[in-house]
Amino acid sequence: MHYIPKVDDYVKWRDHEGWVYFKCDESISIEIGVKDKSCREHGARHHKKNHILLVCQYFQWHELEYVKNRRESIEDTYKSQENRYLDTQ
């Protein structure tokens, strides 16, 4: 079966790995790193991080190796506190 990447999938591709950050019909971008912006950089007030992205074209998707999905990882590791009151709002 051919893997079709989705946003929030963690994938390996060649010598890189990271989260699928964006997807369209032609390509995906894989976030391979994040760096803090300095205060002097344009837009640093609103956006605090620089995202380092790698583009993978659709004809290369067969080279991707699926590792996990961000939502599945959160559900697997999150455990509610025992005897916690239900939120009323």
Mean pLDDT of 75-89: 50
| Residue 83 backbone dihedrals phi, psi, to 5 degrees | 60, 25
In this predicted structure, the answer to whether residue 41 has a pLDDT above a threshold of 80 is no
In this predicted structure, the answer to whether residue 45 has a pLDDT above a threshold of 70 is no
pLDDT (0 to 100) of residue 18: 97
Strand ranges (E), 37-82: 49-57, 65-69
What is the torsional sign of CA 21, 2, 57, 60? positive
The pTM of the full predicted model, rounded to 2 decimals, is 0.72
Which residues lie closer than 8 Å to 12 by C-beta, 6 or more apart? Answer: 64, 65, 67
pLDDT (0 to 100) of residue 80: 47
pLDDT (0 to 100) of residue 73: 58
What percentage of residues in the chain have a pLDDT greater than 90?
57
User: How many CA atoms, within 13 angstroms, populate the side-chain half-sphere of residue 36?
Assistant: 2
